[in-house]
Structures are given as structure tokens and as C-alpha cells.
Amino acid sequence: MTEVEPTIQDLYSIISRLENKIDKLNDKFNHLSIKDNSFIADLPEQTIYEWIENATVNDDHLNILFCSQKGYLEGFKTFILNNRDRESLPITVHKRRLYICVAEDEQYIWKKITDEHLQKIIQTIWQMFLQYYIQRPKDIAIIQDLHDVHMKKVMQMRQHIDVETNRKYLIKWLCEIV
């Protein structure tokens, strides 16, 4: 008895069916984890974005940004740590994955952090730094050139933090401080 080799069309058909089954299983899994993710941790009373809105930038954060060797990251981290001391950070770690609290369909849920989430967090915090720097009274003792250098550092903060290596570093660091 001789075996018939499957044709390319047969193999393609099998692969397509398997791919559809995998997609359906992934959809079911994602649906379950979104609907009942209370197994991760108790939900906080605010989302990560609400927490950031309630957070404040101060002169210490700017001084770290201006004076530290890695001021972009250190200023960002100090901002998070100082505000975390006032109000707990709505993030958690479950099975070595970082989750943030977000609002979806008017309900708070834990959601695994994505690059889009992290980029939005970085952008929002950067905007807070920028707004704080622009609105604070100018120090008369600071010469215009130094003021321009400081403004440049604030403006570049986002692009220095929002690169893949620093995003990965921030996720790792956030996992450690939870």
C-alpha cells in the first residue's frame, strides 16, 4: 500500500483550519481574562491615567532631569516614586507580567500593559513636566542660555524615554517597585 503525499493545497487547508482554531481559542482566553480578572488583585479606586492626573511635578523632579547623568529616566522614576508615596500606584504584577488598572465599558479592569499604554503614560507625564516648567516663575538668576538648555531637556525628555530599550527598562522597574 502506498501513501499519497498531501498536496500543497491540502497542507494549506489544514494550516488554515488550525490557525482559525488558535484564533478562536485566543479570543476566548482574552474574553475570559478581561471579564474576570479579579484573580489578579483587588481593583484600585482609580485607573493609572486618573492616578497620573492627580500626581504632581515639582522642582525636585526638574532638578533631577537637569542635573542627573540619566536625568530623563531618573526624573521620570522620581516623579512616580514621590507620587506613589502619596497615593498607591494602580499597577500590579501577576505571573511576572505587569498589569495596569484601566476603565473599559465604565468598569475598572486589570489589563496587561502594552506599548501603547506605556507610550500614553510617558506622553502624559512628559506633558506634565513641560506644563510645570513653562508655568513656573522664571528664576531671574538663571541666564537665558541656561533657561534654553533646561527647556531643551524638558522638550527632549519624551523622545529619550519613549524608545524601546527604555520602555522595557521602565516595565521591569515598575514590576520591581510594586
Read off the pLDDT of residues 20-73 as tens digits, 9 standing for 90 and up.
Answer: 888 888 766 665 554 455 567 788 999 999 999 999 999 999 999 999 888 899
At 32 the pLDDT is 53
At 136 the pLDDT is 85
Q: Nearest to residue 112, comparing CAs of 101, 122, 125?
A: 101
49/28 same-domain check: no
- Residue 27: give the domain boundaries: 1-35
Nearby residues of 92 by Cβ (< 8 Å), 6 or more positions away: 40, 41, 98, 99, 110, 178
The domain total for the chain is 2
Q: What is the reported pTM?
A: 0.74
75/116 same-domain check: yes
16/66 same-domain check: no
At 29 the pLDDT is 65
Mean pLDDT of the 72-100 span: 94
52/19 same-domain check: no
At 140 the pLDDT is 66
At 38 the pLDDT is 53
6/91 same-domain check: no
Distances (CA, A) of 164 to 24, 73, 94, 168, 170: 30, 13, 22, 6, 10
67/142 same-domain check: yes
At 34 the pLDDT is 47
29/49 same-domain check: no
46/3 same-domain check: no
Helix axes of 115-135 and 144-161: crossing angle, nearest 10 degrees: 170
Phi, psi dihedral angles at 100 (to 5 degrees)? -120, 155
